Structure 1
C-alpha cells in the first residue's frame, strides 16, 4: 500500500485493517511516532496478556536476522493474537530483507509494528512498506495548529475542564513540536487546574514551559531582528536540547513566509501592527513586538532572498546531518547580519 495520508493516520491506528499485518510508523515527530506505534501494537492484543506483546530492537535484528522470524512464527503458549513491536528500525541496520521474507509468508495472528525516525523516501524499509500490499507506511509529522487544538480539546474535556479562548491560544503557541511532549504539558496543566473547572491564561503562563518551543521562538526572533548575541546563546541551547538543524531552519523559513504575507499588507498600506494582528494563525502576544520589528526591517525582495538561503540550508542539513549544525548556524547568522544592516 502507499503511505497513509495524514488525515487517515489516526483512523488506521485506532482501527487497523484485519487484512494488514505489517505497519511502519516513521517521521520527524518522535513523540507521535512512539504514540502511534504503541497504539498499533496494542490494537490487536489483550492488554492484560504479558506474553502477547514482544519488543525487539532494530539493531539486534540487523545483527541476527533470524531472531525476528523465530519470534514471528513461534506458537504462543496460550494461543491468541500477538504483536511484535520493533523500535529504532531506522538506523544503520537494514532489516528490509528480513521483513521481505516475512511478508511473503505472513505469520498468522501476528501484527508487526516498526518504529523508525525520519526516513528518506529512498530508504529501503520505507520503499518496501509503500509498495507491499500487506503493509502500511504511516508518516508522523509535527502537529499543525488544527491537530494541536484537537489535542488540547480532547485532554481538557477528558479532565472535565473548560479552557478560555485566550488560554487556548497561548497554549497552542507553545505546543506542536512533539506529540508526547505536547500531551504531557496539557496533562500537567489539567492537573494544575483540577478542581477549579476552567483553565485561564495565568494557568498556562504558570505551568507550561516547552523549552524546545521557547528556544525555537528565540532563534526565529533573534535571526529576524538581527540580535546576534541572543541568536548565539539560543543556538547553543538548541544544540544541547538535540533540536535537529533542518527542523530549526524549517521553523525560521516558515517564519519568513509569514513575514512575507505581513510585508505585502504593509506595502499595500497597512500599519505593521495591523498587518501582524491579521496573521493566521495569530502570533502569540508576547512575540508580537518582535514580529512587528521584523516586518519593519525586512523588505519584500530581502525576504525572498532570506527564504532562498533558508530553503537551501534545510535541504543541505537533511543531506548531511553531520554538518547540519554548521550549515544552520551559517545561514542564520547570515540572515541576522543582514537584519542588523
Structure 2
C-alpha cells in the first residue's frame, strides 16, 4: 500500500501485525535510514536485527521469507533490514508477501528504485506492505524536519537554530538527529521535560562547523596533503560533528573530477574542460592540479571508498564508523602523496 510519511512513522513506532514489509525507495537514502531507525526503537533495546543486502537476495530469494518467519535465538523481538535493494530483490519480496506466515517485520531501503519498478509496484499493490517514496528535502523542509526531530527529543528550537542544524547536517536527517540528540542530552531534555534550545547551546555543543572546515578536508584529500587533512579532521573530531556531510561533499567533488577527467582522457584540454564545467575561478588551480594528478581508475576507487565510508558511518557503531572514515581518508591522502 502507498503510505504517507505520517502513516509510515506511526506504523514503525507501533508495528501492526499485518504489515510484513516497509519499503522505503527513492534517492533520499539518509531519510530512509532515519525512518528505518524508528522500528528498532519501537521493538526495544533487546530486539535482534538481521542485516541483509539486496545483492545477497538475488541468489537466495527464499532467505528473506525464512528470516521473517524465524524466531530470535534469545526469545526477543526480531526484525530484518535490507539495504541497497533493487529489482534483483523481486523474487525475495514476492516470496515474503506470499509466505504462509512472517512474524518479523522487514524494512527494505532501495535508493535506486522508482515507483515504476517491479518491487515498488508489488509493495504498492500489496495490503501486507507499506511503501513510501523518499525524496531529498529542500532547505525549508529541512528546517521543518529539524523542528520535528527536536520536539520528539523534548526541545523547542530558538530563532536560527533549525537553519544552522539543517546546514550542519548537509541535508541528512540522520545527521541532524544525532546532533539534536546531543543537544537534548546537554540540556537534559526529554519528551516529558521540554527545554529551550538557543544558539548558545548549539555553540556549546559544537553541533556545526562552517563550509571553510569542510572545504579544508576536501581540498586536503584532493590535493594529497595528509598533514593538512589531519589538522582538519582533528577540528571536526573536537566538535563531535558527523563526517557524513563532508563525505557527501567529497563524493560530489570526486564525481565532478571523474567526469572532467573523462573528457580530458578523450582529448579535451584541461582549461577548456574546466570552462565548460564552470569551475569557480578560485578553484581553477587546484582543479587543474587534481586533473593532472588523478587517474580515472584512482577517482573511481576513491569514490567507492568514500561511499563505503559513509555507509560505515550511517550503520552506527558507537563512533567506530567515524574513526574508520577518517582513517580511510587519511590513507587515501597518504597514498596519493606517495
**Given the two structures, how large is their TM-score scaled by the length of structure 1?**
0.53
TM-superposition CA deviations, 1:132-154 (whole Å, max 9, x none): 23211122333453553353465
SS in 1 for 2:88: coil
Instruction: Please report how far the alpha carbon of residue 181 of structure 1 lies from its aligned counterpart in structure 2 after TM superposition.
Output: 0.7
Instruction: Classify 1:13/1:142 alpha carbon distance in 2 versus 1 (closer, same or farther; 3 Å).
Output: farther
Write the distance in 2 (CA, Å) between the matches of 1:100 and 1:107: 13
- 1:312-323 aligned at under 5 Å gives the runs none
8 Å Cα contact 2:169/2:245 also seen in 1? no
RMSD in angstroms over aligned alpha carbons? 4.7
Write the distance in 1 (CA, Å) between the matches of 2:163 and 2:62: 51
Write the distance in 1 (CA, Å) between the matches of 2:260 and 2:79: 37
TM-superposition CA deviations, 1:131-185 (whole Å, max 9, x none): 22321112233345355335346537845x6543144444444446111111122
Task: Report what 2:17 is aligned to.
Answer: 18
**Given the two structures, how large is their TM-score scaled by the length of structure 2?**
0.54
Instruction: Classify 1:193/1:331 alpha carbon distance in 2 versus 1 (closer, same or farther; 3 Å).
Output: farther
Task: Report what 1:34 is aligned to.
Answer: 33
Question: Higher Cα Rg: structure 1 or 2?
Answer: 1
8 Å Cα contact 1:142/1:176 also seen in 2? no
Structure 1: gaps spanning 5 or more residues: 219-229, 249-316
Task: Report what 1:54 is aligned to.
Answer: 50
Paired residue total: 244
Structure 2: gaps spanning 5 or more residues: 190-194, 224-243, 264-272, 282-338
TM-superposition CA deviations, 1:13-56 (whole Å, max 9, x none): 3234432211112333333212222323564x454254xx3332
**Is residue 72 of structure 2 the alignment partner of residue 87 of structure 1?**
no
Instruction: Please report how far the alpha carbon of residue 239 of structure 1 lies from its aligned counterpart in structure 2 after TM superposition.
Output: 11
Task: Report what 1:112 is aligned to.
Answer: 106
TM-superposition CA deviations, 1:164-210 (whole Å, max 9, x none): 31444444444461111111223344556679x75443554562326
Write the distance in 2 (CA, Å) between the matches of 1:240 and 1:49: 32
Write the distance in 2 (CA, Å) between the matches of 1:334 and 1:78: 58
